[in-house]
């Protein structure tokens, strides 16, 4: 049942967001980005560092820079992600050069990846405040950190026709 319902839920959510909400042309350097991998059951996050590159913690534990297409095609494309969401204040993308710099310093490093205890959200949250051993392992926790550190209060879809 999950395999039939999940893509429909993501499609409906993406349609509503694309039709009724403003999209953004591009994130700002240091924006937090995420995609919904399994209709609310799994998300993936990272930091936009410019030049169409997102730094993220891969499921293997490697911290790497990828294109938006590679980011959204996680798990070999075997997911339901259709959109990348960007941290915004109202309709304006927000980021920080400091956040981007923290992400870049981590490139090439490896972590002991764990879906629950050391995942992409913890890494992304660490880029916001510098503490990579934090306990922000869920997207809702990361979103709270975006409010605190970037003054983010909304999420908008990155216009997929404009990336890559």
Reported as a single tens digit per residue, the pLDDT across 106-145 is: 999 999 987 778 899 999 999 999 999 999 999 999 999 9
d(CA 126, CA 80): 26
Query: Can you spell out the DSSP letters for 32-95?
Result: EEEEESSTTS-EEEEEEEETTEEEEE-TTSBEEEE-HHHHHTTGGG-S-----EEEEETTEE--
Q: Does domain 2-162 have CATH number 1.10.260.40?
A: no
120-129 vs 139-150: helix axis angle to the nearest 10?
A: 10
Reported as a single tens digit per residue, the pLDDT across 57-115 is: 998 999 999 999 889 887 665 566 788 999 999 999 999 999 999 999 999 999 998 77
| Confidence class for position 24, pLDDT limits 50, 70, 90 | very high
Q: Is 76 left (phi over 0), alpha (psi -120 to 50) or beta?
A: left
Q: Please state the domain extents for the chain.
A: 2-162
């Amino acid at each position: 049942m999950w395999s039939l319902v999940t893509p429909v839920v993501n499609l409906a959510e993406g349609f509503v967001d694309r039709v009724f909400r403003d999209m953004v042309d591009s994130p700002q350097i240091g924006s937090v980005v995420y995609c919904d991998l399994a209709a609310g059951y799994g998300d993936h996050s990272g930091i936009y560092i410019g030049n169409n590159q997102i730094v993220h913690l891969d499921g293997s534990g490697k911290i790497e820079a990828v294109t938006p297409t590679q980011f959204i095609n996680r798990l070999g494309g075997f997911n339901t992600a259709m959109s990348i969401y960007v941290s915004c204040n109202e309709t304006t993308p927000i980021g920080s050069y400091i956040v981007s710099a923290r992400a870049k310093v981590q490139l090439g490093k490896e972590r002991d990846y764990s879906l629950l205890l050391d995942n992409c959200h913890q890494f992304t949250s660490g880029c916001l405040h510098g503490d990579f051993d934090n306990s922000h392992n869920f997207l809702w926790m990361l979103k709270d950190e975006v409010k605190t550190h970037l003054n983010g209060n909304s999420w908008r879809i990155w216009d997929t026709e404009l990336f890559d």
